[in-house]
Amino acid sequence: MNRSIVFATNNAHKLEEIRQIMPNNLEVLSLKDIGCDVDIPETGTTLEENALIKAQYVLEHYGLACFADDTGLEVEALNGEPGVYSARYAGGEGHDSEANIQKVLKNLDGIENRKARFRTVIAFVRKNKVTGEKEVSLVEGIVNGSITTHKRGTAGFGYDAIFIPEGYDQTFGELGMDIKNEISHRARAVKNFAKELEDYIKE
């Protein structure tokens, strides 16, 4: 029988990306799948805190094993910005990718150092079957690269159209999802997460 696990997101892009990377014998459920329509507030000041807040909310309110991620684009010349504020860098309530991209490009205008990295943190929380104690794991995945001077490519989402991963001369937006899923920060975090999942699936 397949084990199931909740991924604390309703972001269709992220869900599709994760489902393509995850082991086949694990069913990944979204917040919508478990009837959770709460927009869990991300009030942390680090990626780790935000991931934990989301995963723990599901465990506490639904009693289900859950993992959550938070991803940030960290630009060296901008002192690590947008970082934990990547989704709402341009301000406002919504996640306006276009406005966020334009703000990064504007802030880097005339700056030679374009070094950046994407970092994904995954928090996994579940109850120990024997003791009932809460268990928490944190893993991360990083991909280094650089920021372009203008948008390139239409694949992906978020900052993909302005980020060129190390070892490539195209942005994630140009490389497409198949290549991105092999080399991305989220893919690397999920691969690091796979060991935790092996033990969970065996339980």
Q: Mean pLDDT, the chain, as a whole number?
A: 91
- Residue with the bigger pLDDT between 1 and 70: it is 70
Q: Does domain 3-202 bear CATH number 3.90.950.10? A: yes
Q: Which residues of 57-74 are buried (b: 16+ CB within 10 A; e: fewer)?
A: bbbeeeebbbbbbbbbbb
Residues with Cβ within 8 Å of 60's Cβ and at least 6 positions away in sequence, in order, are none
188 burial level (CB within 10 Å; 0-12, 13-18, 19+): buried
Residues comprising the chain, all counted: 203
When mean pLDDT is compared across 16-30, 132-146, 169-183, the lowest value belongs to 16-30
Going from N- to C-terminal start, the domains of the chain cover 3-202
> How many Å apart are CA 168 and CA 97, to the nearest integer?
23
pLDDT per residue as tens digits for the range 81-112: 999 999 889 987 666 899 999 999 999 999 99
The upper half-sphere exposure of residue 199, i.e. CA atoms within 13 Å in the direction of its Cβ, equals: 11
pLDDT of 190 > 60? The answer is: yes
Pairing of strands 115-127, 134-147: antiparallel
14-43 mean pLDDT: 88
pTM metric for this prediction? 0.87
Both tokens of 140, joined, read 């991360």
User: Is there a catalytic annotation at residue 70?
Assistant: yes
pLDDT per residue as tens digits for the range 116-132: 999 999 999 999 888 98
Choose, from 33, 69, 70, 96, the residue flagged as catalytic. 70
**Cβ-contact 90, 103 below 8 angstroms:** yes
Which residues does residue 125 pair with via DSSP β-bridges, in sequence order?
Answer: 66, 136
